[in-house]
Structure 1
Amino acid sequence: MTTLRFRVLGDSLAAGVGCTRVEQSIGHVLADALRAAGHRVELSVHAVPGARSADLPPQVRAAVAAGVDLALIVVGANDLTRFTPPAVGAEKLRDAVTGLVSTGARVLVVTAPDMGVLAHVPPTFRDVVSQTSRLYATAQAAAATTAGATVAHVGPEVFSRFAVDERLFSADRFHPSAAGYAVIAQALTTYVLAAARSA
């Protein structure tokens, strides 16, 4: 059986900040799902907490050097908090996807989350923040698709759960808890399994 080289790139969400154990992070949960589906998996996480789309090149180089069949990129939250223009962040994401696809890897991209569900956002600004998040995610999705990636959609039904259930957040009220990561990973599993079949 061929080993599937699964690499996770991106920011603190990709790295699993907020989990109490590394096994609860997105990469590990999805690797377990792949193994349950019959794949032999080699996982490495190159994600860096605080990373923006502009910080992806070193992660791409590390993933390519290690060998990559399937890559998951989770990025965008820090671009939003630092007011990165959508066109700028999308271009950096496109370049990262291109670098991975050029090696023959299958690439999945999770775009920016809906920041309007965060408790730190005053209620009067939540609609504006949510709209800004959607515009940024739309630009990311277009760029990623153009470069050859598949967008793994974490839809409104997921964000609505975070909006009403504080247990899905860790103590900092910004990063997901283990339960929150499980919800996100569940939304991504179908995409990951489909990509693995064609990797």
Structure 2
Amino acid sequence: MAGMRLVRALVLGAGSVGGLSGAAYGLLNGQSRRARSMIGKATGLPLNADGVYLPDGTGPVTDEPHDALTLAVLGDSLAAGLGAETEDRLPSVHLARGLAEEADRPVRLTTHAISGSRTSDLDEQVDVALISPPDLALVIVGGNDVTSRMRVGTSAELLAAQVGRLARAGTTVVVGTCPDLDAITPIPQPLRAIASHWGLALARAQRRELDRIGVRSVSLAALVSPEFRHRADELFSGDRFHPNGAGYELAASVLLGPLCDAAGLTRGWEPLPA
């Protein structure tokens, strides 16, 4: 997600959709300028540590075991791990190692996620993933749909369509729904409340569409965002918008159970409402 784009889009959206008075619009516009000055700019590309991870925790290795479980990660900057300090702290690496340990077999990780992606961009990532359909896929997307003011229903329908393509190819999919943007504390109130409202509405719509097609979802808003609100100094990266390594480790700890469960492994999981 892009912090600068988010605050600008929220003000425009609130003004056009909510029918704000001139005074209220001026307040939010002033808050957006303040937020843009407080949210740092992300620099560089996300790290990448694709490869094979072994049950003993080593990896990535160059050997290609014949019995590897294949894991693909698709979506936006949160899926790609923008903000992680080292490759070892990427969420995908935590998940690949956890799956390898739980399954007692190698896991081959492939990352298709691209920072800045919206749900409407997922089709290209899915096209590439389906060249060799993975056993398991994790999708995290939606935050950038808020910045672009995409209709909640349209966004959720697009997600279901692309996830359905993966499922029909034999891939088991788990989706992390849109987080609660209320955790981004540099965005002042009431602007942050607008962001939170849109993000939570999108998460609910995503969950409804995924339930309809029988795909598992994990509520990042319920399971991860509260910790980011309470421990912002510990869990956000220097841009104050994306997680750092500790934040991604927390997110991975929440996602690992559903992924193991989806893969038919032993780790149990009980879903929480979106």
The verdict on a shared fold, with TM-score over 0.5 as the criterion, is: yes
Q: Is the 8 A contact 2:87 2:93 kept in 1?
A: yes
Q: Which moved more, 1:89-98 or 1:125-134?
A: 125-134
Alignment of 1:1-199 (within 5 A): 2-37=67-102, 38-165=104-231, 166-197=233-264
Q: Is the 8 A contact 2:100 2:106 kept in 1?
A: yes
Q: Is the 8 A contact 2:139 2:173 kept in 1?
A: yes
Alpha-carbon distance, 1:146 to partner: 1.9
Q: Percent identity?
A: 35
Taking the aligned partners of 1:69 and 1:30, their CA distance within structure 2 comes to 14
Taking the aligned partners of 1:141 and 1:105, their CA distance within structure 2 comes to 19
Q: Based on CA coordinates, which of the two structures has the bigger radius of gyration?
A: 2
Return the structure number with greater relative CO, CA threshold 8 A, min gap 6: 1
Structure 2 counterpart of 1:24, one-letter code? R
Taking the aligned partners of 2:116 and 2:78, their CA distance within structure 1 comes to 9
Taking the aligned partners of 1:23 and 1:45, their CA distance within structure 2 comes to 14
Structure 1 counterpart of 2:215, one-letter code? A
Taking the aligned partners of 1:97 and 1:156, their CA distance within structure 2 comes to 22
Alpha-carbon distance, 1:56 to partner: 0.2
Taking the aligned partners of 2:94 and 2:189, their CA distance within structure 1 comes to 33
Uncovered stretches (5+) of structure 2, i.e. residues with no partner: 1-65, 266-274
Taking the aligned partners of 1:86 and 1:126, their CA distance within structure 2 comes to 18
Taking the aligned partners of 2:85 and 2:170, their CA distance within structure 1 comes to 34
Alpha-carbon distance, 1:157 to partner: 4.7
Q: Give TM-score, length-normalised by structure 1.
A: 0.94
Q: Is the 8 A contact 1:101 1:148 kept in 2?
A: no
Structure 2 counterpart of 1:176, one-letter code? P
Alpha-carbon distance, 1:91 to partner: 1.2
Taking the aligned partners of 2:100 and 2:81, their CA distance within structure 1 comes to 20
Taking the aligned partners of 1:147 and 1:61, their CA distance within structure 2 comes to 20
Secondary structure at 1:7 match in 2: strand
Structure 1 counterpart of 2:206, one-letter code? Q
Q: Is the 8 A contact 1:16 1:22 kept in 2?
A: no
Deviations 1:132-182 (A, max 9, x none): 211110001111222331002224352121112122000001100000001
Aligned length: 198
Q: Give TM-score, length-normalised by structure 2.
A: 0.69
Q: Which moved more, 1:4-13 or 1:16-25?
A: 16-25
Secondary structure at 1:185 match in 2: helix
Uncovered stretches (5+) of structure 1, i.e. residues with no partner: none
Q: Is the 8 A contact 1:14 1:25 kept in 2?
A: no
